[in-house]
Amino acid sequence: MRIVIITAGSRGDVAPYTGLGRRLLDAGHQVALAAHPAFAALVGACGLEYRPVPGDPQGLIRDWARAASREEAQALTRAYADGIADGVAEAVEGGADLLLTAHGPAPLSRMAGEAHGIPVIGAYLVPSFATGEFPLPHARNADGRSPEGNLAAGREVLRRAEGVFAGGVARLRERFGLPDGTPSAAADIRPAFHGFSPLVVPRPRTGRPGWR
């Protein structure tokens, strides 16, 4: 089976997937990992095929610091997300039977999978489904929330994450000729596996059925 793993971000967003990819390779699959150019050597050193995803996260942070206005910073973010969208599309067009996606680019992975009839599975490194039992990472003012507050805060985190790639999703819809109603939300990808021990974050009793 040809498996493509799609991720974007810093080394911490990439390195765990090299281990996953290596295990899949040892199990007899063909494995490619799509990530930013800075990680091409890391991916290749693990014996995996590398597929490029444009973007330099550290460079983006430097550019944000130099941005003269919020509008300029937002334009930088949109350009970064558009580059990731193009990279995801090209990585999938390189051939795949299955896509495994990190949470960040998951909306883009879902669009590409839908366009090519390829199943998409979430492979997330942090809790990625809203629950009343705890706030998701990056929740605002999460201390001391009620279950209802945790759930609302988690949903807000997911909305913000989807907003980053909203333009990229639209870009892929146009590229692939998909209708506007084509689902793209990361939270709707099933199944989705979370790559951390339940001793670190217990599986929530009230979690979505896709939480594994």
Rounded mean pLDDT of the chain? Answer: 90
Confidence of residue 10 (pLDDT cuts 50, 70, 90): very high
Q: Does the residue 54 lie in any domain?
A: yes
| Domain count along the chain | 1
- Arithmetic mean of pLDDT, 33-49: 98
| Whole-Å CA distances, 84 to 15, 33, 80, 168, 191 | 18, 14, 6, 8, 23
Res 187: pLDDT: 66
Q: Of 32-41, 55-64, 203-212, which range is least confident?
A: 203-212
* pTM given for the model: 0.90
Q: Does the residue 37 lie in any domain?
A: yes
- Arithmetic mean of pLDDT, 79-100: 97
Q: Does the residue 181 lie in any domain?
A: yes
Beta strands in the chain (DSSP E): 2-6, 30-35, 49-52, 98-101, 120-124, 192-194
Q: Does the residue 172 lie in any domain?
A: yes
Res 198: pLDDT: 82
Contacts of residue 144, Cβ cutoff 8 Å, sequence gap at least 6:
none
Q: Does the residue 201 lie in any domain?
A: no
Q: Does the residue 209 lie in any domain?
A: no
Res 135: pLDDT: 84
Q: Does the residue 61 lie in any domain?
A: yes
Res 144: pLDDT: 61
Q: Residue 159's domain is classified under what CATH number? A: 3.40.50.2000
- Arithmetic mean of pLDDT, 197-211: 69
Model confidence at 146: pLDDT above 60: yes
Model confidence at 207: pLDDT above 80: no
Q: Does the residue 199 lie in any domain?
A: no
Residue 140 belongs to what domain range? 2-194
